[in-house]
Structure 1
């Protein structure tokens, strides 16, 4: 009788004590819940498919990255596996963006659809994994639903540049699934699959470095390999640690590579920037703030500025007390309510890499950092609520209703948060509305305004950003660009100099300083700046193109053409770069090659009056006068006040002895630009010759 009782108890708890598929979960119910999760995600995220790119890293990950723009080819794949661009080594993330570009071009909605599909896959996989190890169908469904629609997860899904979050999590969860398979059948092939999937997770984003720790948590609960139910054997802790040793080594290697990449990329802040005491204080506050935003997801922002100073003592002390109390309670109840310790330690442990002890960037916290850690909190909530309703049916129904209501309540909050990611202005405008002293939001809103031609408004934003954070090199660089746009070149140069004093390794600032120096006629000095920019970043297409233009101006034509050809390879979709190369080729007498480049520029930008005019000049040089006349007329159709095109059209017409028409266009050129010496000379010659060719 006693033995039978033990068998019944063991049978009830088997789903939480083995790696085998849980029993008692009907496949039909699993399928229905899976479908419901997909519907829930579609209800929460319909707006994401209408969102565009934002100017917060989307350009460096997709829209302005020449390697990504090239799609999947041998060179781009090799680059993905060897670069530490963006202060990270995440080749699979680069490959995913390349594949999207190859499939969809720059259709932002389709890029968003890839991230949404990955998020949906993660929610389904999380549900199936939890069902497999616990058998608690409805609790697992609630955890997966919270994961699917919580507003804190919007940043990971709706931000194209954060593809690495959803991609690495997919491989993280697949690694857990493979690990469960390995525990059921300990073969080298199964372990190799675990290693391969874990490597893929780390190659998408280094966040999964804590995966071995989460495996140990699974050993504690729900697998109960550390303290199994009666009648099952206990596995020794050394063996549990040893089986994970290869994964720990992979984690350590990833940490080393990531730290080196981030340090070389200038992302790791020094102890002079943030003291260790400030880091500890911010970590405590961040842990508690994330919990608060989990329970009440309001005032979410793309960037939460770090205070750059020691916060007041009492909030830090209160946060530390909360963390200590919850940790103590969860550990004290570990035997009776192991899910609490599991969920809390999962939350604490998986946040460690991004909690700020090693400060990367200037943010105090970030919504995206909660994508995996909140799984632990959701598990603790779901199982805790289940325990509360275990003995009373009415309580159980009330809890079920409250859970359903919470999911319904999250939907509009998530949809609204998705809307904030619709574009750059909406994103930063919202951040400024819900945070204070947000220098980065001011800065990037300024960039968005500048891109729309609102230079005065952009300068206001840049100035405010620098008032809050005067040591921000990027802000000085952007303010310099805005000043240059207004023709305030000395002020622009001053801002570039300030940026370079703060960050000597800024290739962009060196390039922009070169542009300003050219506008002052200081071409030789500009060449030095462009060359320095390319030493710092050999793939900076703007610097290649600008160096080519400058070299062409000082007569170093072969070097100019080489730089411009490299710029075209780096940015084949830039009409301006093709135009510059065409101009240099004309100067070198390579007219046919120039015609090809001008044609490519027009393919990319058919309404470019300058490209039409320059193509007309090249055709004139090739004695293809009728075609040249057509191009000049097209240029004037785009830009009727284009004095150079009027003059060039006059020259081509005069060559065909169409003197009266030529004379009229010379007059138009001089009327539009009275100081245009060449047009004045042509007009004078035509008039003196009585309409003869000039």
Structure 2
């Protein structure tokens, strides 16, 4: 690249970074303070690993939830948790510092988006628009303001650094095979780091494959260049081996579902995030998931397939933009594919799930800007630029408004409850926030409503049972606890609550059976161990008497 062009790109980059910093300070500075919300309470605020001198090692040896709460799970995000450990060692646990770090990570990701668009499209204006769309889209609120959202943002940062490391230009090729393999190996290591932040980055080899098909800088491709894909594949595969070595499963029963079931869920998920991306919306924090009607799914699948076929046809006819459009669309679609096996299980659509796929949409925006610059009239460019600027301003204002909801749990879930007052998942989370502030007496009505509107949502039944026990309504608590165990057999607190309900009704032997069953399945869960020990000791000395109130009461964890 000529020195003059390099200098111009450098100046453009610094100007973009300055505007980005100013824009994010303006939109987010007033929302930095508040309280820990949602999973931040468990993974950050009360996570003993983060204050331990050995925490840096423990985050790699245990699953994310197991290390924080002793709860089994498939999440394994050691690098993201390591960042919290380092932060805690340096500054202690300070919410404002954590959110500032999150903003800095988001800035870094946005800068990577800008640099990639500049490198792939060689168009500074296209890079500007794509980068600003990514930076200020309202859908970015959750991964920025939610501390646990750093698992997403940090993972995407490593993923985009891997893309920057990947051989892209003819100048790279001219350095020789050794240089190319070193860069591919670096991309593989960065892909591995991304996967160690969030499981979504299992798709990295696929993204590199479609990038090589696009070949935006017209590299003289040789057959052995495809061997570079071995590097990110090995990086991702290594993480699977690490997970297996410490006993973290990477399988799910949904993988065995039918092809139609996968397509149905996948199309529903794609439509949800595409709609929110294009309309500059931030979805509900607690957005209940249900698949689209069959006819709607078939229609969307047909439109999607026709679009892909049309773009391929244009690409084979040497259309300049078709290859890039396929890459951008492919990035968006591929990055959403892993959620096909997680969203139907969780029954929730997180706003943070848009973060990685949105990079593909930025490519499409960059291509559109590049095409308009080359083919549209000056008047049309002025009109499009004006509309785009207004949309960007709207996005920034919306981002600012949405970020204020993250002050505390009541304001966060309360905003959702105003929009959907009969959503059982939202009622559950709002009830949990009320319980943390006002106790079970204030929260009971919300948990009860949650069980009515979401009768198969196990967490609602579990916390409903727990509050009924705390309020000494043991008969009703027993039926609620039984229902919670039916729906949440993989949660140790379900066994615990049912065991306590039986105790409070004087049915000690039934309690003992439930607690023993739970302890056998979850041998490390302390509450079950403690209840089992107290039950066995008391029944051995007072087999016909009611246990005293010193026995544990309930567990209403989130």
Using the size of structure 1 for normalisation, the TM-score is 0.67
CA-CA distance at 1:69 after TM superposition: 4.9
Aligned residue number for residue 144 of structure 1 = 131
User: Is the 1:133–1:223 Cα contact (8 Å) retained in structure 2?
Assistant: yes
Distance verdict in 2 for CA 1:445–1:259, change over 3 Å: farther
Aligned residue number for residue 479 of structure 2 = 494
Aligned residue number for residue 174 of structure 1 = 161
Aligned residue number for residue 278 of structure 2 = 295
Superimposed CA distance per residue, residues 526-551 of structure 1 (whole angstroms, 9 cap, x where no aligned partner): 66655554544454344455556667
SS of structure 2 residue aligned to 1:92: helix
Once the two structures are overlaid, the 10-residue window that deviates more, 525-534 or 152-161, is 525-534
Distance verdict in 2 for CA 1:364–1:397, change over 3 Å: same
SS of structure 1 residue aligned to 2:490: coil
Give distance in 2, aligned partners of 1:432 and 1:261.
Answer: 40
CA-CA distance at 1:300 after TM superposition: 1.2
SS of structure 2 residue aligned to 1:301: coil
CA-CA distance at 1:552 after TM superposition: 7.3
Aligned residue number for residue 424 of structure 1 = 409
SS of structure 2 residue aligned to 1:50: coil
Residues 1:367 and 2:354 are matched in the alignment: no
2:99 to 102, 109, 112: 112
Give distance in 2, aligned partners of 1:436 and 1:283.
Answer: 27
SS of structure 2 residue aligned to 1:244: helix
CA-CA distance at 1:387 after TM superposition: 1.4
Once the two structures are overlaid, the 10-residue window that deviates more, 30-39 or 62-71, is 62-71
SS of structure 1 residue aligned to 2:464: helix
Residues 1:29 and 2:12 are matched in the alignment: yes
User: Is the 1:510–1:529 Cα contact (8 Å) retained in structure 2?
Assistant: yes
CA-CA distance at 1:76 after TM superposition: 2.5
CA-CA distance at 1:252 after TM superposition: 5.0
Give distance in 1, aligned partners of 2:486 and 2:246.
Answer: 23
SS of structure 1 residue aligned to 2:477: helix
Superimposed CA distance per residue, residues 609-642 of structure 1 (whole angstroms, 9 cap, x where no aligned partner): xxxxxxxxxxxxxxxxxxxxxxxxxxxxxxxxxx
SS of structure 1 residue aligned to 2:166: helix
Write out aligned runs for 1:379-398 (5 A).
379-391=363-375, 392-398=377-383
Residues 1:125 and 2:112 are matched in the alignment: yes
CA-CA distance at 1:200 after TM superposition: 1.0
CA-CA distance at 1:172 after TM superposition: 0.7
Give distance in 2, aligned partners of 1:412 and 1:555.
Answer: 65
Give distance in 2, aligned partners of 1:235 and 1:299.
Answer: 41
1:321 to 302, 307, 316: 302
Give distance in 1, aligned partners of 2:4 and 2:167.
Answer: 9
Write out aligned runs for 1:225-624 (5 A).
225=218, 234-236=220-222, 238-251=223-236, 254=239, 269=254, 277-298=260-281, 300-307=283-290, 311-334=292-315, 335-337=319-321, 338-354=323-339, 356=340, 361-363=345-347, 365-391=349-375, 392-435=377-420, 438-519=423-504, 532-544=517-529, 546=531
Distance verdict in 2 for CA 1:47–1:143, change over 3 Å: same
Give distance in 2, aligned partners of 1:37 and 1:534.
Answer: 52
User: Is the 1:122–1:169 Cα contact (8 Å) retained in structure 2?
Assistant: yes
SS of structure 2 residue aligned to 1:470: coil
Larger radius of gyration between Structure 1 and Structure 2: 1
Superimposed CA distance per residue, residues 399-456 of structure 1 (whole angstroms, 9 cap, x where no aligned partner): 3333322221111111122123322222223323445753221211111112222534
Give distance in 1, aligned partners of 2:160 and 2:134.
Answer: 13
Distance verdict in 2 for CA 1:262–1:42, change over 3 Å: farther
Aligned residues: 527
SS of structure 2 residue aligned to 1:223: coil
Distance verdict in 2 for CA 1:336–1:322, change over 3 Å: same
User: Is the 1:122–1:166 Cα contact (8 Å) retained in structure 2?
Assistant: yes
Distance verdict in 2 for CA 1:554–1:48, change over 3 Å: farther
User: Is the 1:122–1:173 Cα contact (8 Å) retained in structure 2?
Assistant: yes
Superimposed CA distance per residue, residues 363-406 of structure 1 (whole angstroms, 9 cap, x where no aligned partner): 36432121121111122123213312424223223333333222
CA-CA distance at 1:325 after TM superposition: 3.5
Once the two structures are overlaid, the 10-residue window that deviates more, 428-437 or 399-408, is 428-437
User: Is the 2:243–2:250 Cα contact (8 Å) retained in structure 1?
Assistant: no
Please, which runs of 5 or more residues in structure 2 have no aligned partner? Answer: 67-71, 542-549, 552-558
Please, which runs of 5 or more residues in structure 1 have no aligned partner? Answer: 1-13, 229-233, 557-578, 581-694
1:59 to 9, 33, 41: 41
Once the two structures are overlaid, the 10-residue window that deviates more, 167-176 or 375-384, is 375-384
Give distance in 2, aligned partners of 1:217 and 1:416.
Answer: 37
Give distance in 2, aligned partners of 1:440 and 1:423.
Answer: 18
Give distance in 1, aligned partners of 2:409 and 2:338.
Answer: 28
SS of structure 1 residue aligned to 2:167: helix
Give distance in 2, aligned partners of 1:347 and 1:396.
Answer: 27
SS of structure 2 residue aligned to 1:180: coil
2:77 to 90, 104, 108: 90
SS of structure 1 residue aligned to 2:410: helix
Superimposed CA distance per residue, residues 124-161 of structure 1 (whole angstroms, 9 cap, x where no aligned partner): 12212332343311211211111111011212222222
Give distance in 2, aligned partners of 1:412 and 1:431.
Answer: 19
SS of structure 2 residue aligned to 1:471: coil
Aligned residue number for residue 164 of structure 1 = 151
Aligned residue number for residue 638 of structure 1 = none
Give distance in 2, aligned partners of 1:516 and 1:324.
Answer: 54
* RMSD (Å) for aligned C-alpha atoms: 3.6
User: Is the 1:473–1:503 Cα contact (8 Å) retained in structure 2?
Assistant: yes
CA-CA distance at 1:170 after TM superposition: 1.2
Using the size of structure 2 for normalisation, the TM-score is 0.82
Distance verdict in 2 for CA 1:502–1:33, change over 3 Å: closer
